[in-house]
Every structure is written in structure tokens, then in C-alpha cells.
Chains A and B, each alone.
Chain A
Amino acid sequence: MSKTYYDPADLRKFSKITEWGEELGNKFFEYYGKVFEEGALTAREKSLIALAVAHTEQCPYCIDAYTKDGLQRGVTKEEMMEAIHVGAAIKSGATLVHGIQMMNKVNKLDG
């Protein structure tokens, strides 16, 4: 049993998930590859979205992968940090907006 839950070396083994479920694994990677192709959004824009989501999902593998991917595409530190703030703002906004539910409940129960 490894001493930590996450091992950076596991990221490069990602494709091995097909070994225990070839059809679904291959379909996933095909879909994944297609999603990141140049489309209405540029591959660079998609990379920044992925970086922001990687942070909101708090996925260490994805953070490593899309930080490197951004560097490869010439994305600057400033652009990366702004993208992460977008993710953080949505996360905190999503928490706070539930405050309305709390307020509604208080109003209903306690006038």
C-alpha cells in the first residue's frame, strides 16, 4: 500500500485504465481527445477552462497536466491565475447563493 493517495507517476499511467475495460476506456479517450480539439473555442481557450475546472475539482493530476499544457501553449502565469480566480469565484458564488435558501427557510420557519 502506498503511503500517499496521489503519486505523480500515476498520471502517465492514465491510459492503462483501458486494460480493465477496453471498450469504455477507448471511448472515453476518443471523446476526451475530441473535446480538446480546435473548434468554436481555440485549443488554448479550452486549456484554460480545463485548468480552472482542474482547480475547482481539486484534481492534482489535472492541475499538473493543464499547467504544463498551458505552458506549452504559451499561456502566461497571469492568464493561468485569472482562470483559477474564475473557478474560485464560481465556487464561492455557488456557496453563497445558497444563503438565499437559508434565508428563505429562516423566514418561513421563524417569520
Chain B
Amino acid sequence: MALTGRLGLLTLVAAFVPLLVPSGGLLLGLWGLLLLGVIIDLALAGNVRALRFHREGDTRVRLGETANAALIVENTGRRRVKAILRDVWPPSAGVAPRRAKINVPAGERRRIDQTFTPTRRGDREAVTVVVRSVGPLGLAARQLSRPAPRTLRVLPAFPSRRHLPSRLARLRELTGLHSTMIRGQGTEFDSLREYVVGDDVRSIDWRATARRDDVVVRTWRPERDRRLYLVLDTGRTSAGRVGDIPRLDCSMDAALLLAALASRAGDRVDLLAYDRTVRARCENASRTGLLSAMVEAMAPLEPALIESDAAGMVSAIMSRVRRRSLIVLLTELNPAAFEEGLLPLLPGLTARHLVMIAAVSDPLVEEMAEARGDLAAVYDAAAAERARADRRRLIAELRSYGVEVVDAPPDRIAPALADAYLALKAAGRL
């Protein structure tokens, strides 16, 4: 039940009547009349209890895009229902329209078209549907809220998609679908062909040359069917906001580009998100379904405000990955966290796998290091220099373990990681 502004206004007007006609009976009579009106309205208002709600349309939407969905209102009662309807979602679901007028005859259905323009990644749950049906006199309304469950999954935006074509072109050069095949661009034997001027003499296959009249060279191609294991660190360091987006989202973006590239290159890609437990996993996905499976796994991830358990992470990797793989750890180069956690465990990991660490650096630190002018700016610069020195020292130490390190600001981390992968591929180090 709900009252309307009209009832309030009429009661207010009734309060002024005694100033003209000073009679208590008249005032009581007016009040009685209004009460009667309320009862009539409540009796004659559309039966909101008889409404049933159904939903249809998209359940998945990429962040930044708009999903189309519909709420279908079915009237199972015997009277027509005219009402205002509000579909209640969290604000970040970006539902429009937020309120709709419905007019559903008995036994029929009406469809309300909705669009969702979410502003944040993750799962959004519909809270409830509220219907308010005002009676014929407009004094009172029947109101009811009824759950109509639905989950809208908002997937990561993957803005670094635009880097994919250029990286694929370079991959094609490597795999020989394109231009030259020369030694050094791979270690896997591909085929024999006749020597042409310009070929590396070291790649001449003397045995095959001896069998033929011609000089024959071996050609090589990059390895296929290698394994990549992407590890997303969702611990406290991933919550840091770099520019406008959390570090975790940058890491996801880089991981998606790398996965898209590696799956085209014929490598197998698995994903693990870990802080103190496994937050998400995407393993053994088919090549065609890889990206959607990864995006699906990443969508509900949120940074956890806890210190990541490096030992647990390493043992989770070791127990899952038997074959030699490229382990790509997307984390933050935090000296304190590394020295206590991952550094002592790295030799064990690098002994069996090739390890690459990708970290998003903060452009603000670079800005601060350049700052001059007043005293505060110089102290800022000193602190930034100190942070950069710590980071450099950590990177040098990691490299001494044979770890590949990619350290780039958020707008360049995804292409930088893809380039590092291509360089490894070209060098045949996978």
C-alpha cells in the first residue's frame, strides 16, 4: 500500500475548511470522505499480486558496450493492471529505463525493453521488481515488490584488442606463412629446400646435399604446441589504482592479448587467478573457445585486500603444470612482498619452467620523479627516485634468476607483454 500526494494535498485543504466554516463535524466528515476514498482506491486498484515477471535477452555484456534485454509482465488476474514499474538493479548495472508505465489487460503480457550499460566489471544481480498501481481516485495505491532474479555478467573490456592485428602479422612472419624462413627464427625442423643466395651457410644440410645435385638447406619454424600458463595475482598489490583503472584490470587486458596471440600461434594457454586460494581457473579450453572462456573466468574477479601467498601460488603452479611451460606471472614489483614471498621460491620454478613476470608501472611515479619547483616537489622527486631505484634493483635481481621481466605503464603493458612473448618465440626459447 502507498498513499499519493493528492491525498496529502486534499487533507491539507480540508484543514483550511474550518477557517471558513467553523464546524468540527464538517472536518470529521471530510476526513471520513477521504478515508472512504482511500478504501475505494485500494479495492479498485489493479491487482499487483497477480503479476508474474519473466526476463529475456543478453546475460553477458562487455564493459563499455550495451546489452539489450526485456522484462515481460504477465497479468494472471481478472482485471487490467495499470501501474508504474521499477526494475531495481545496482547503479553500476546502468539499466534504462529505470521506471516504466505498464498497462496490462487481464490474461495478457506486455514487454518492457531495457538496455544495460554497465560501468563496472563483474556480476550484477537484479534486486527486485517493484510495481505500484494507483486506484481510480488517485488517493492510494497498491504496491508490491517481487524478486525476478537475473544475473548480468559484465566481461572485461579488452581494449588492447587493437594491438592484436599488428602482433599477428609479426607472428605470421615468424611462422613462415609470410616472407622468409631463415635460421634463427625457430628451432623446430620444418623442411628442406634448395639453397638460394643469401641463406645462412650454417643451415646447409650436407647430408641431403650429398644425396642430390643441389645444395640443400634446412628450414626452421617456431615451435608449436608449447604451453603458456598465465597467473593473475589478485592479492592486495593488484588493488592499486594506476591512472584510472585498478592494476588487476590492466593485467587482465595484457593476459587477454597474450592469450589471443598465443592461441593463434598454436600454443596452449591456461589461466590461474590466485591470492591465497585459487580465485579463478581456465584450463584445457579449446583454441576457439579460449578467449570467451578466459573472459568468463576473469569477469567476477576482484582484488582481495590480503597478502598473496607466494608459496601456495608456486605449489599450485607446480602441481598443475607438469610439462615445461612459459609461466607468465602478472603481478606488481613490490620489493617487500617479493623478497619475503616469491624470490626464495624462484629457483625451483625457473629450474622447470621459463618464467616471465609482467608488472604495471605507475606513470605517476615517473611524473613525480620529474617534479621540481618547490620543496614538496623535490621531496616527491626524491621519494619517486627511491621507489624507482628499489624497482630497478628488484628487476635486476629477478633477471639474475633467469626471469624475463616486462615492466611497462598501463597503456603499454599489453603490447609489451605480447612483444616479449614474440621475442621468446623467435628466439626459440619456449
Chain A complexes with chain B: no
Question: Measuring CB to CB, which residues of chain A are less than 8 angstroms from any residue of chain B?
Answer: none
Residues of B that sit less than 8 Å from A by CB:
none
